[in-house]
Amino acid sequence: MSDQKHNAVAKKALKGKTIADARYMTEQEMNDFGWYNRSIVIFFTDGSYMIPQQDNEGNGAGALWLGGGKSKETLIYTI
């Protein structure tokens, strides 16, 4: 898939969403995914949510690096 197609998918999925809440996965959720660490879960006001994972196959939780704009660089790590 080309960069343009990937960008279009990401934009369609995320543009305009508003974050309603964020928390780390529970131990049970981590076990349900078959993972060994807990990722952050980001909930949006439309009822959807996002869980970073380490690869396309969902083999584990993944970290998020946040930066740019007026934000201080931040790493949301797995636990």
* pLDDT at res. 77: 84
Domain spans, the chain? 18-76
pLDDT digits (tens, 9 = 90+) for 16-62: 999 999 999 999 999 999 999 999 999 999 999 999 999 989 999 99
Q: What is the pLDDT of residue 66?
A: 80
pLDDT, tens digit (0-9, with 9 covering 90-100), for 61-76: 999 888 887 778 888 8
Question: What's the pLDDT at 65?
Answer: 86
Q: Model pTM?
A: 0.84
- Please choose, from the candidates 66, 41, 39, the residue with its C-alpha nearest in 3D space to the C-alpha of residue 55: 39
> b or e along 18-27 (b: 16 or more beta carbons within 10 Å of the residue's beta carbon)?
eeeeeebbee
